Structure 1
C-alpha cells in the first residue's frame, strides 16, 4: 500500500506537518503536543544531540553553553548555506542543519502516525529572493536537496499563499474574488483567487523577501543598536576629525540568521578597536560585551517582545536589555514602531498592489482579504490591506496553520 504524502510547511519562524483524512486535516503534533514547531536549533557545547524548537529556546534562555540558530530558511539560495563553520566542536554547513531539522520533523510525524513518509509536499514562498530568478531557482534546488538528505525520496512544492487559498476556500461565496495576504517570518506572499466549486482558481501570485524577521531587524536598528554604539563616531588613529561608527556589524547583529557567525576572534577584535577609538566608549563596550558573552539572540528576543507589545497598542512595549547592562532599556511606542516600519509598510503596500495588477483586477473587485502567517498579526498589515481594498471584508484565518492545511488538502488531490 503506498504511503501518504506528508504536507510540510517549513517556515522561517515556525514549521508544521499535516495529513488530509476523511474527517478533515490532521495537524500532526510534532512539538510536545503542539501543532507547530519553532524553526530553531541548539547545539550543546558538550557535543550532545541537537535540540529543536522550544527545547532549543529553553536551552538558550536557561543559559546552557552552546550555539542557538534560527531563521535557517533565509539562507537558501545563498553561498552561506554551504559554507562550513566550527559549531560546538564540529564543522557544520547550514544545509546539513536544515536537513537534520527536516529529518527530525519526519521522524516525529512517523512516530505519531505510525506511517513511513518518503514523499513530501512542501510549501515555498512565491519568491525566495525578490527579483532574482537565479537565486530563486537555486533556493528551491537547495531546499529539495535538504529534503532528499532528510530521507524523502521525492518532494513537490506549492506556493504558500496558494496553499492558504485552498485552506480558506470556504470563507467566501462561489465566484467571489479574494486576496490572500501571507506574511511569514522571512517573506510576504500574495495570491488573488476566485472561489470555485472545487479548488480556487489562482489568478496571480506575487511575493517579496520581507517578513517578521525584517520587522525585528528594523526595530532593532532604530531602538536597540544605538545603545550599542550605532550612530556614534570614532576618532581617527592618525590626524584630526571623526569617522562614523561602521554600520555593517550592527546589521549582522540585528539579523537572526547572521548572529551565530559574529562570534569570531576577528569580529571581537574589530569591535574592541572601535571601543578604543569611540567618542562614546561605553556604548560600544556594550557591543563588546554582547559578543564576548554571546548575547545576540537574547537581544533579538528582547526586541521581538518589545515589537509585539508595541503592536498591541496601549502604552507600547519595552526592550529590556539589562542582561547587557543593569537598568538598560528602550521604550517602543506605537508611534516609534510605525516610524521604524515605515519602509516595510510601503513595500507591503506596493507588493499587494502589484499582485492585483498581475491578476488584472481592480481593488474594488476584491470581496475579501484573508490574512495568514504569524506576522500578519502586525497592525500595519491589516491597515494596509484595508487601505488598498477599502470595500473588502478583512478576515483572519488560522495564522500559523492555514498553509499546512492547504498543503495537506492539495496532497490528497
Structure 2
C-alpha cells in the first residue's frame, strides 16, 4: 500500500485511500504534527565552552602537571603559551564529556526515545538540554559538509520512520511505499542543484526509514489533484499553495472525469516561517536592542531564525558582555537553551491571533521579569509586508506568463499560510476577476498525495 506524505516545513501529515475513502493518518489526536524532533542525547557545542574561574583553576593545575612531566621525563622545553594551549584543550575535552554525562536526559537511550511534534518542543523546553531540530526540510537544499549531511539525513530518517510506523499501526499492515510531496523550488543556496540534493537526501532517508519505494510529486500538483476531485466539469485553474517554507503555483486543467493535467508551475522559496521571523524582528527585537543598542542587525535575524541551525549557532556564540543594559541581560537570556524557541512560538501565536484580533499582548517574562509587548494588526501588516510584496511579484510573473493563454476559471488557495487575511487579500488583488476557492489549509496537499498514491496502487479513488 502507498501512502501520501506531506513532509512540511512547519507541519507534516500523511493519508491514503481505503475502500474509496480518504483516510488521514492520526498522530495522537491530531491530523498532522509539527515537523520537529527532539533527541534526548546531549551533543554539547564546543562553542559554549568558556573559562569560568573554576575551569581556569583546572587549566593552571594542568599546566603545572605538564611542566612537572617534562622535567621528570626529560621532554623538550616548551613555552608557557604552548603548555597553556594544551591544558585548555584537555580541560575543554573533559568539560564536554562531563556535560554529556551529567545531563538530566543522558540516561535515556536518545535515538530510541526521540519525540516528535509539539511533544518534542515541550520536552526540549522542560529539560533545557538535548537537541531540538525544527523545520529540517528548510535545510535540505543548502551546501553542507559530509558530517552535516549525515546529521540531516538522520533527522529526516527519524521523521519519515515515525510517519511510516504510525501509518502501519493505524492501517493494520506494513507500509513500505509512499508518494512524498516536494516544493517546486526548495530553499537553497545552490539553485536547481539544491532542489536535486534535497530530493536525493529525502530518498536516502526514506530508504533507511524502511520505505522500499518512493516517488515525488510537486506540492501544487498534489493540491490540484485534491481540487480536481471536486470539479464536475473540465476547467482551467490556478493552484496557489502557500506553506511554511515555500510558495508554489501551478496552472492545471482539472475536473470533468478526465485525468488532471499540470501545464505550468512556479516556485518561491518563502513561506510562513519568513512571516514569523519578520514579525519577531519587527515586534520583539526592539526590546532586545534592535536598532537601539550597538549590536549588528543580523544578530537579531539569526536569533529569530529557529529553523536555521547555523544561524542559531552563530547567535548563541556571540558575546554581549559589553552591550549596555537592559539589552545585555535580555540578549544573554535569549542565548539560554530554549529561549529562541519560546520567542518563535510567541511570534507564531501572535501572527495567528492577529488574523482576527486587533491587538495581542505577548508575555516575554522568560527574558526579563515583567517584560512584554503589545502588537497590533497594522504592525503585523507592516512586519510581513516583505513577504506579501514578494508573493505579489511572483503572482505578477504568473499573470505575465499566462497572458496568451486561456484564462483560469478559479484560483484554488491552500497551505497553512493561506489562512492569513493579508495573504488572501494579496491573491485576490492579483487575480480580481477570477473566483477564489479556499481549500483545506492543512490537508489540501496531503489529500492530493493520497490520490496519487491510490493511483499507483491501481485503485483510483
Does the TM-score normalized on the shorter chain lie above 0.5? yes
Q: Offset at 1:175?
A: 2.9
Matches within 5 A, 1:59-138: 59-62=123-126, 65-80=129-144, 83-84=147-148, 93-129=151-187, 132-138=191-197
Q: Which residue of 2 aligns with 1:385?
A: 427
Matches within 5 A, 1:245-264: 245-258=295-308, 262=312
Q: Offset at 1:281?
A: 2.7
The answer to whether the 8 Å contact 2:182/2:216 transfers is yes
Partner Cα separation in structure 2 for residue 231 and residue 302 of structure 1: 21
The answer to whether the 8 Å contact 1:82/1:94 transfers is no
Q: Call closer, same or farther: CA 1:261–1:233 in 2, change over 3 Å.
A: closer
Q: Which residue of 2 aligns with 1:89?
A: none
Partner Cα separation in structure 2 for residue 248 and residue 365 of structure 1: 43
Q: Call closer, same or farther: CA 1:107–1:120 in 2, change over 3 Å.
A: same
2:344 to 300, 304, 307: 300
The answer to whether the 8 Å contact 1:9/1:404 transfers is yes
Q: Offset at 1:260?
A: 8.2
Partner Cα separation in structure 2 for residue 268 and residue 186 of structure 1: 23
Q: Offset at 1:293?
A: 4.5
Q: So what's the TM-score if we normalise by structure 1?
A: 0.86
User: What is the RMSD of the two structures over their aligned residues, measured on CA atoms?
Assistant: 2.3
Partner Cα separation in structure 2 for residue 268 and residue 74 of structure 1: 20
The answer to whether the 8 Å contact 1:366/1:389 transfers is no
The answer to whether the 8 Å contact 2:239/2:411 transfers is yes
Larger Rg: 2
Structure 2 residue 330 is the aligned partner of structure 1 residue 271: no
Partner Cα separation in structure 2 for residue 268 and residue 256 of structure 1: 12
Partner Cα separation in structure 1 for residue 453 and residue 402 of structure 2: 25
Q: Which residue of 1 aligns with 2:250?
A: 191
Q: Offset at 1:189?
A: 0.7
Alignment partner of 1:203: what SS? strand
1:355 to 398, 402, 411: 398
Q: Which residue of 1 aligns with 2:373?
A: 330
Partner Cα separation in structure 1 for residue 291 and residue 334 of structure 2: 18
Q: Which residue of 2 aligns with 1:395?
A: 437
Q: Which residue of 1 aligns with 2:64?
A: none
Partner Cα separation in structure 2 for residue 183 and residue 157 of structure 1: 18
Q: Offset at 1:233?
A: 4.0
Q: Which residue of 1 aligns with 2:32?
A: 36
Q: Offset at 1:63?
A: 5.2
The answer to whether the 8 Å contact 2:140/2:152 transfers is no
1:12 to 2, 9, 13: 9
Matches within 5 A, 1:164-203: 164-172=223-231, 174-196=233-255, 197-203=257-263
Alignment partner of 2:210: what SS? coil
Q: Call closer, same or farther: CA 1:21–1:81 in 2, change over 3 Å.
A: farther
Q: Which residue of 2 aligns with 1:146?
A: 205
Q: Which residue of 2 aligns with 1:341?
A: 384
Partner Cα separation in structure 2 for residue 140 and residue 24 of structure 1: 29
The answer to whether the 8 Å contact 1:263/1:291 transfers is no
The answer to whether the 8 Å contact 1:213/1:256 transfers is no
The answer to whether the 8 Å contact 2:388/2:426 transfers is yes
Q: Offset at 1:64?
A: 5.5
Gaps of 5+ in 2: 41-102, 456-461
Q: Offset at 1:248?
A: 2.8
Alignment partner of 2:427: what SS? helix
Alignment partner of 1:221: what SS? helix
Partner Cα separation in structure 1 for residue 15 and residue 245 of structure 2: 21
Q: Call closer, same or farther: CA 1:268–1:69 in 2, change over 3 Å.
A: closer
Q: Offset at 1:361?
A: 5.5
Partner Cα separation in structure 1 for residue 309 and residue 200 of structure 2: 25
The answer to whether the 8 Å contact 2:4/2:180 transfers is yes
Partner Cα separation in structure 2 for residue 81 and residue 368 of structure 1: 45
Matches within 5 A, 1:198-213: 198-213=258-273
The answer to whether the 8 Å contact 1:317/1:333 transfers is yes
What is the CA deviation profile of residues 344-399 of structure 1, one whole-angstrom value per residue up to 9, with x for unaligned ones? 1111111123234344557x923222211111101121101111111222222111
The answer to whether the 8 Å contact 2:266/2:398 transfers is yes
